[in-house]
Chains A and B, each alone.
Chain A
């Protein structure tokens, strides 16, 4: 066996180890119901924001945002986020949440834990755009 082959094997083993480390940390997509069953484990939930429940007051605490979110199965959960309110959150079609269910509240402690799927981001929001056109015609 050549030296180079040994080196290759070692590195490939290291790469696989790296991948395994990564796979050990990956999260899974869950529904609200199944996230409730995985208390304390980081999961991803794709949900819809209930705009009426959005609560953020920079005056009181700029690092605390709460809202409720529903998923396609109709379940509902409380969400707490410990950063500023993401821009354009109100207009999101869906939000992707990454966090842990703790005491019935979905706690998001990472800044990138909320991904707002905004129609406006890099894309035409055809619905909002249409609305613009309709108001133009009135």
Chain B
């Protein structure tokens, strides 16, 4: 059939570049590997030329794929599934890029793009290591290319291409019509959670971080195949770079979670968060052992191991987030694309990769290849063998490293910097192992599904966050103290009185500051018992210690030489992050505690959280130190968001502020709304507001007034409570003078209304008489959807009156919201910035040193 209106050229181009990328990265891998083996300079150069040319082709291909896909998305070519699925016509330009990373294919492309960028820096800078290092980068590019290939081999689809056509992917009757495209008027739209500015910049930075972990891995590979451990001197800036960028990427994700996900925080120990934290931790450990080796010759083996593990864990995180394994435990994992086998292969190949190249003898190499094949074939039938394969490979790698990589036999001196740095790395490593094992529970459930012990699949604890916190707080304590004291040790040996003299002042200052925080700071994390509170205070001390001691070291140790202070600055940042985390989560308060106390709610207030409060338009509600009013809302057509104006007035009479949280209608697949919080930033705290539900107000009012006879003191019921006529006002009361005009005679009924939740309201419906015409002055009780009208006097002597009661569903404008206050969260973000500055300083310094030398 000939379809009308399709643009097939971009897809054909895209597919061509996919193939080109696959082929050129494979050629580059082989050529770089051969160039690495050649000793003859001329031959080496000719292979290198060929390899570089292939990598150039690969780069061109990757960039072209990017551009073609951008063309498809920005021109709304909905015949392509990717555009149809992830974008629509109303999307603002700035979010077009977010469409890339909403889908798995686009995020693989992003990753491949960064590998290209890093690859060219490596080709430019790494000299003798180029061939070895680029072998790994090109091979990773090849693997990534297979992920977005989308071609069938023997009936199995390899990869998922971003260039597939909608009509080929979906089975719907409209595709039998040649003009189907004219019926597909708009795309599905971008997930509302991703329509956030953090989502434009967080994924690129995070993927640069992921991509950067390959560089130390690749250096480790080059060191192993070339039996030359000198790479470790050039790898330090790369390690620092990776730590800085991956750290920034992770924290930007935290920022996004804080600002848009409405989890009520920046970190929830979600498996996806953990999966990106772990490689960072291992990279930090590797960087420190790398530094130890460079200065002392210790810790070479662990450096190899950590650098290898960091990249492997990035791949593991890729597997976890993309395979759908986390479906039941994580809020934001991708769902299964049917590529699990391929993702697993990507992972397992790189798990065995360093092991294979750590082996020296051909016999061992063959044994490793055999073990790799046997384990993975068996794992098709018995899933547990995937675990055997992984652990087996790591164990074998350790054995081979022990055998072939030299180490100093003499033990590290306790009074040396390397001793304590290594302990720090070890703690980080073990903490990463613990987090990995915990995060892998859903994987273990799958692997051991047939074992009786695992008959019941395990899942996270009820309070997963706390369970993590109570373990990791001790890691924080140890690391804080280690970062504080370690720099005061010298490498190899430190004179005892030097150390104790220098460390004394920072220790005392930190103790004093901690005591101040303890007694003045109101750290009120007492929900979890005194034990945890003590741990929190210890951790606060260690964080303060880390800040003070490292700041002090710049003067005491380095004599103010700021250029050399990169590490100290980064550690100050780390301490600030720790302190920010401890204080902000320890003191997070919910301002919107529901305080309307009567039966139903009393129970919830006592036993359960009651974090949301309902606001009625125009009615000020008591919330902690503020009176809060929902003023109104407006619809913004450009970004399709409804903005709510919420007014905060402090009770002490100081200047108030307004916040504008908004909701955005979900994309076409979904119903309902997603909320974007708004916050008011103060130096010491953030007030954070988001709409948890609201009632749309566009129904017609159809209910009518129900007449009701009433006397003074009578009680009348309505659907949600009762009302009492307290009194009839005197004629023309002063307080209601805006309700009647001159010449009118007005009287009002003084009603008090009690809802069954126990809220009380006053209402004064009235009547005005002028020249025998009677005008009713109804009064509304918004909060109760109630309109009261004074109809007429039935019997003046008996005091019988007629009241009109209307209960209308469409009266109220109301919303429920949650208001949180995070103290000192700025400190956390500022700490991240300081850490990155420290990293940049030390990169600059090391690169300069190298060029001088």
Contacts and interface: CB of A to CB of B under 8 A. Distances in A.
A88 B667 CA distance: 11
A21 B174 contact: no
Nearest to B470: A21
A58 B434 contact: no
A15 B478 CA distance: 13
A7 to B, nearest CB: 6
A118 B331 contact: no
Interface in B651-701: 666-675, 692-695
Given A84-B816, A123-B335, A63 B604 contact: yes
A33 interface: no
Contact of A18 (B174, B463, B471, B614): B471
B55 interface: no
B611 A124 contact: no
B135 interface: no
A26 B459 contact: yes
Nearest to B456: A28
A120 B460 contact: no
B276 to A, nearest CB: 16
Interface string A127-138: 011101110110
B335 A22 contact: no
Given A62-B693, A83-B612, A88 B671 contact: yes
Contacts of A87: 666, 672-675
Interface in A110-126: 110-113, 115, 117-126
A112 B613 CA distance: 19
Contacts of B433: 15
Given A42-B461, A115-B331, A130-B170, A83 B611 contact: yes
Contact of A60 (B412, B669, B757, B815): B757
B434 A15 contact: yes
A3 B604 contact: no
A133 B174 contact: yes
A88 B666 contact: yes
B244 to A, nearest CB: 27
Nearest to A137: B174
Given A28-B456, A29-B456, A115-B328, A132 B188 contact: yes
Given A25-B462, A63-B609, A137-B174, A129 B85 contact: yes
B757 to A, nearest CB: 7
Contacts of A67: none
Interface in B174-203: 174, 177, 180, 183-185, 188, 191, 193
A130 B610 CA distance: 39
Interface in A64-102: 64, 82-85, 87-88, 90-91, 96, 98-100
A132 B668 CA distance: 8
B191 A130 contact: no
Contact of A27 (B419, B430, B460): B460
A84 B692 CA distance: 6
Contacts of B692: 58, 62, 84-85
Given A15-B433, A87-B675, A126 B170 contact: yes
Interface stretch (B214-222, B421-429, B826-834): B421-429
A59 B601 CA distance: 12
Interface residues of A, number: 66
A14 B667 CA distance: 47
Interface string B587-625: 000000010000011001001111111100000000000
B607 to A, nearest CB: 8
Contacts of B471: 18, 21-22
B128 interface: no
A3 B411 contact: yes
Nearest to A64: B604
B818 A84 contact: yes
B814 A27 contact: no
B188 A124 contact: yes
Contacts of B459: 26-29, 44, 98
Contact of B333 (A4, A25, A27, A122): A122
Contacts of B19: none
A129 to B, nearest CB: 6
A59 B614 contact: yes
Contacts of A111: 263-264, 609, 611
B462 A58 contact: no
B426 A11 contact: yes
Contacts of A84: 611-612, 692-693, 816, 818
B693 A58 contact: yes
Nearest to B182: A136
Given A28-B459, A124-B85, A130-B172, A2 B411 contact: yes
Given A3-B411, A98-B462, A136-B184, A120 B437 contact: no
A88 B685 CA distance: 31
Given A4-B411, A87-B673, A120 B666 contact: yes
Contact of B612 (A2, A62, A134): A62
Interface in B439-479: 441, 445, 456-464, 467-468, 470-471, 474
A73 to B, nearest CB: 15
Interface string B315-327: 0000000000001
Contact of B594 (A63, A91, A122): A63
Contacts of A7: 423, 426
Contacts of A121: 191, 193, 331-332
B695 A58 contact: yes
Nearest to B170: A130
Given A8-B426, A62-B816, A112-B268, A28 B457 contact: yes
A28 B610 contact: no
Contacts of B669: 119-120, 124-125, 128-129, 132
Contacts of A119: 669
B755 to A, nearest CB: 9
B266 to A, nearest CB: 15
A119 B324 CA distance: 12
Contact of B419 (A4, A110, A136): A4
Nearest to A128: B669
Nearest to A21: B471
A46 interface: yes
A137 B458 contact: no
A64 B85 CA distance: 35
A19 B468 CA distance: 10
B126 interface: no
Given A28-B457, A29-B459, A59-B814, A120 B172 contact: no
B845 interface: no
Given A15-B430, A28-B458, A90 B612 contact: no
Contact of B327 (A21, A56, A117): A117
B724 interface: no
A95 B667 CA distance: 20
Interface string B257-273: 00000011000100000
Contacts of A28: 456-459
12 contacts: A3-B411, A19-B438, A22-B438, A26-B441, A29-B328, A42-B461, A58-B614, A58-B815, A83-B609, A84-B611, A128-B670, A134-B173
Interface of B: 85, 102, 170, 172-174, 177, 180, 183-185, 188, 191, 193, 263-264, 268, 327-329, 331-335, 411-412, 414, 419, 422-423, 426-427, 430-431, 433-434, 437-438, 441, 445, 456-464, 467-468, 470-471, 474, 594, 600-601, 604, 607-614, 666-675, 692-695, 720, 757, 785, 812, 814-816, 818
Across the A-B interface, give the 5 residue pairs with the lowest CB-CB distance, nearest first. Answer: A25-B461, A84-B692, A42-B462, A137-B174, A62-B816
Interface of A: 2-4, 7-8, 11-12, 14-15, 18-19, 21-22, 25-30, 42, 44, 46, 56, 58-64, 82-85, 87-88, 90-91, 96, 98-100, 109-113, 115, 117-126, 128-130, 132-134, 136-137
Given A27-B458, A58-B816, 14 more contacts: A14-B474, A18-B434, A19-B434, A28-B457, A29-B458, A58-B814, A58-B815, A62-B816, A63-B594, A82-B608, A88-B672, A91-B672, A115-B328, A134-B172
